[in-house]
Chains A and B, each alone.
Chain A
Amino acid sequence: MKVKKGIGVSPGVAIAQAVVLNAEEFDIPQRHVAVDLAQAELARLRKATAVSKKEIQELRKQTAEKIDKKTAGIFDYHLMLLEDKELHKQFTAMIVGSHAAAEYAVATVLRNYAKLFHDMPQHLADRVHDVYDIEKRLLRNLIGQHRQTLAHLKRNVVVVAPDLSPSQTAAMDREHVLGIAIDVGGQTSHTAIVARGLGLPAVVGLNDLTADAAGGDTIIIDGTRGVVVLNPDAETLAHYQQMARQQVEFLHSLDALRDLPATTSDGHEVLLLGNIEFPRETATVLDKGGQGIGLYRTEFLYLGSDTEPSEEDHYNAYREVLNLCPDRSVVIRTLDLGADKYTQSRARIPERNPMLGLRSIRFCLQHLPAFKTQIRAILRAAVGTRASMMFPLLTSLKELRQAKAIMRDVIEDLEEEGVECAPDLPVGIMVETPSAALQCYAFAQEVDFFSIGTNDLIQYTLAVDRGNERVASLFTGANPAVLRLLQEIIRAGQRYDIPVSMCGELAGDPKYTVLLLGLGLRTFSVTPSAIPEIKKIIRGVTMERALAVANRVMKLDSEAEINNYLRMEMHKLLPEAYTD
C-alpha cells in the first residue's frame, strides 16, 4: 500500500483499477500471467527487444545521414540502455520470479529506474526521458497495435497520467472512467475543471504518481482530501468502499430535489445556475435542476484547435447552448485566455509571471480582431434569447469603457450591414481582482450585473498560487479580507440594483452556501455536479439563520475559526456530505 498526497480538485471517492497513460497512451493490459507462461513471456520480450533494436539502428542511420553523426550518438546510448544486462536481469527476475507479464515487467523496472534518475543531479535527471523513450518503444513492440485510448474502455478504471490534454479529456469514455489522478496541475487546471464538471473525483499535483503506479494496480482516489492510495490494504479498501457506498446513496437522495425550486425554507427565492466549459454540458446542468447557465466559458473554442475560431464557430457554439435554454439566463464570458499553459507554450516569449501578465480582457484589448469576432458572434446569437455578455478580469474602469466602446463599434458595423443582432443585451463584468472589488460602487453604475469570480479574487487578494503545493494550503475563501471584499461587492449590487451572482468555486462549496446567502447573494452559478447539493442546503435553511451565520462570521478574525464554524453549520444541514 502506498499513500500519496496531492491537491483534491473534485470531491468524492473512486475505487478502480488504474489505467496508466504515458504520452503515447499505453495501458498495460494485464500484470501477471500463468506460471507456465514465463518462458513464452521471455520470448516475447526478446522479440520486442530485437525489433526495438532494429528500429533504433534505423533511426541512428537516418539521423547520421540527415543531421550528423554526433546527433545520431543519442541512439547509441539508447541501444546501450536497451541491451543493458542489469535491466534484462531484472526483467527476467520479475517474469520468472513473480510471473509478471512482459509489459508489466518492462513498465515496472523502467519506471523504477526513471524514479531513481528523477532524484539525481540535473545532468542525470534528464536521462529520465531516455528511459521513458525505451519504455515506450518496448511497450509498443510488446502491445503492438492494441494501443488503448480513453475513448473505448471495457472496464471501470481510474485514469493516471502525467497530464491530460483537452482532447484526451474530451474523448474520455464517461461510462467507465471513475476518477482521475495526474502528476501536474492545480485547482484551476483544465483537468480540474473538467473533472468537477463531470462530477468525477480527481486529485492533481501528485508529482510522480505515474512512476509509482502500474496499469492494473488497484487505486483509490479521494478527491475530497486530495489523497491517492495505491494497492490499498484490506482495511483501507473496506473503509473507502463503505464511503463510496454512502456517496452513491447520498447522490441518489439528491435526485429527488431535481424539479424542486431553490428556495429557502422561509420562502426566499434563489437562482441556481450551472457553469459550463463545453456546449454539451448544458444538458447536464438542466438535468441536475439548474435554472440556466451562469458562466459559459469560451476558451474551448481556442484550445481545441490550432486555428483561430471563425465567427461562425463562435456563433454555432453559442446557439447550441441558447437553443437548449430559449428562455433561461445564459451568461457568455468573453475569452479568458493568457495565463494557461497552452497560450504560454505557444507564445513567442513566455511570460515570466503569466498570472500578472497579458491575460483575459488585457489580451482581448490587444487582439482586437479576435475580440471583435467573438463580440459579433455573441450579439448575433443573442437575438431572441436571455443571453448576456460578461468581461473577465477587469482592474480599471478604463478597460470596461474600452471594451464597451469596442462593443458599440461592433453593433454599428452589424447595423450598417443589416445583420440582425441584440444590441441591448445585458453586459456585466467578472469581479475577480481586488482592484475591481474595491471600485465596485463605481463599476456598478456602468454595468448591468456582477459575477464574482472567487478563484482569481482569492489568488490575487491573498497572493497565493494554489497550484503551488508549498503554499496551496494558504488558499482559502475563509480569509476575513476575502469575505470583506465579497460583502462589499454584494452591497454595491444592492445599492445600484444590479444582480450579483457568484460563479467562482466558493459558490459550489457547500460549506459557504449559508454564509453567502446571509451576505445577500441570491444567484449561485456552480459546476453542474454541485447543483443538487447546493440546492439541498438552500432549501434547508431560513434567511434568518443565514443572516445570523453571516453576522457571526464577519466578526471572526481567523481563518481557522471561520472554517470550523462554517463546517459545523454545514454538517447541521447536510450531515451526509463527505468532507475533509
Chain B
Amino acid sequence: MQFVEVAQQYGSTIEVSNGTRSVDAKSIMSVMLLAGTQGTVLTIHADGDDAQAAADALVALVAGGFGEMEDEVG
C-alpha cells in the first residue's frame, strides 16, 4: 500500500514487473496481485521527468519487504 502511495507521488509513468507481467505501479489492485508471492524478483520501470527519483524511492522502500529488486530507468 505504501508502495503505491509513494508511486502516486511521482509524475512519471511507473510500471512494475515480475518478469512475466507488467502492471501500473500506481494501481493498488494490480500491485497487490503481482506481489502475491514472496521471493519474486520485481523490476521497476519508470518513464518521465522524475523517473530516477521515483525508482530510487521505490527500491529503497521495498528492499526490505519484497526481497531482491532490480531497477531500470528508461
Q: Are A84 and B36 in contact (CB under 8 A)?
A: no
Tell me if B24 and A80 are in contact (CB < 8 A).
Answer: no
B36's partner among A76, A86, A120 (CB-CB below 8 A) is A120
Question: For window 27-56 of chain B, which residues contact chain A by CB distance below 8 Å?
Answer: 27-30, 32-33, 35-38
B-chain residues with CB within 8 Å of residue A80 when the two chains form the complex: 1, 4-5, 28
Flag if A120 contacts B33 (CB, 8 Å). yes
Q: Give the distance to chain B from A82, nearest Cβ to Cβ, in Å.
A: 10
Tell yes or no: B23 within 8 A of A by CB: yes
Supposing A80-B1, A80-B4 touch, asked if A85 and B36 sit within 8 A by C-beta, the answer is no
Question: Using a CB–CB distance below 8 Å, which chain B residues touch chain A?
Answer: 1, 4-5, 23-24, 26-30, 32-33, 35-38
CB <8 Å contact, A127 and B24:
no
Knowing A80-B4, A80-B5, A86-B24 touch, does A121 contact B37 (C-beta < 8 A)? yes
Q: How many A-B residue pairs have CB under 8 A?
A: 37
Tell me if A342 counts as interface (CB < 8 A to partner B): no
A-B complex: 6 closest residue pairs judged by Cβ atoms: A86-B27, A120-B36, A80-B28, A86-B30, A84-B29, A84-B27
A124 at the interface (CB under 8 A from B): yes
Chain A residues within 8 Å of B23, by CB: 86
Q: For B35, what are the chain A residues with a Cβ–Cβ distance below 8 Å?
A: 124
In the complex, are the beta carbons of B1 and A77 less than 8 A apart?
Answer: yes
Minimum Cβ distance to chain B for residue A123 (Å)? 10
10 pairs, A vs B, C-beta closer than 8 Å? A80-B28, A81-B28, A84-B27, A84-B30, A86-B29, A121-B36, A121-B37, A124-B32, A124-B35, A124-B36
Q: A85 is contacted by which of B1, B5, B26 (Cβ under 8 Å)?
A: B26
A87: CB under 8 A from chain B? yes
Main secondary structure of the interface of A (DSSP, over half): helix
**A-B contacts besides A85-B27, A117-B32, 17 pairs, CB < 8 Å:** A80-B1, A80-B28, A81-B29, A84-B28, A84-B29, A85-B24, A85-B26, A86-B24, A86-B27, A86-B29, A86-B30, A120-B36, A121-B36, A121-B37, A124-B32, A124-B36, A127-B32
A116 at the interface (CB under 8 A from B): yes
How far is it, in angstroms, between the C-alpha of A481 and the C-alpha of B5 when the chains are bound? 63
Q: Closest residue to A119 on the B side, CB-wise?
A: B36
Task: Say how far B39's CB is from chain A's closest CB, in angstroms.
Answer: 11
Residues in B whose Cβ lies below 8 Å from that of A77: 1, 28
Q: Is A565 an interface residue (CB 8 A)?
A: no
Q: Smallest CB–CB gap between A125 and chain B, Å?
A: 10
**C-alpha spacing A200/B53, complex, angstroms:** 63
In the complex formed, the residue of B with least CB distance to A87 is B29
Interfacial chain B residues near A124, Cβ < 8 Å: 32, 35-36
Which of A26-84 touch B at CB < 8 Å?
Answer: 76-77, 80-81, 84
A-chain residues with CB within 8 Å of residue B27 when the two chains form the complex = 84-87
Q: Name the CB-closest residue of A to B27.
A: A86
Residues of B within 8 A of A86 (CB): 23-24, 27, 29-30
**What chain A residues lie within 8 Å of B32 (beta carbons)?**
117, 124, 127
Which of chain A's residues has its CB closest to B8's CB? A80
Task: Say yes or no for A240: interface residue by CB 8 A criterion.
Answer: no
Given the interface pairs A77-B1, A86-B24, the reply to whether A113 lies near B29 with Cβ below 8 Å is yes
Cβ of B47 to closest chain A Cβ, rounded Å: 16
Among residues of A, the one whose C-beta sits closest to the C-beta of B28 is A80
Min distance, Cβ A127 to any Cβ of chain B, angstroms = 7
Whole-angstrom CA separation of A203 from B13 in the bound complex? 48
C-alpha spacing A76/B29, complex, angstroms: 14
* B53–chain A nearest beta-carbon distance, Å: 21
- B8, chain A: closest CB distance, angstroms: 8
Contacting pair B33 A116 (CB below 8 A): yes
Nearest Cβ in chain A — how far from B3, in angstroms? 11
CB distance from A387 to the nearest CB of B (A): 60
CB neighbours of A120 from chain B (8 A) = 33, 36
Cα distance, A387 to B33, chains bound together (Å): 61
- Taken together as a complex, chains A and B put the C-alpha atoms of A86 and B36 apart, in Å, by 17
Question: For the complex, what is the distance from the CA of A116 to the CA of B1, rounded to whole Å?
Answer: 18
A488 to B44 Cα, complex, angstroms: 73
A76 to B30, CA, bound (A): 17
Which A residues between 106 and 126 are near B, CB-CB below 8 angstroms? 113, 116-117, 120-121, 124
* CB nearest to A79 among chain B residues: B28
CA distance A76 to B5 in the complex (A): 10
A121 CB to nearest chain B CB (Å): 6
**CA distance in complex: A82, B18 (Å):** 25
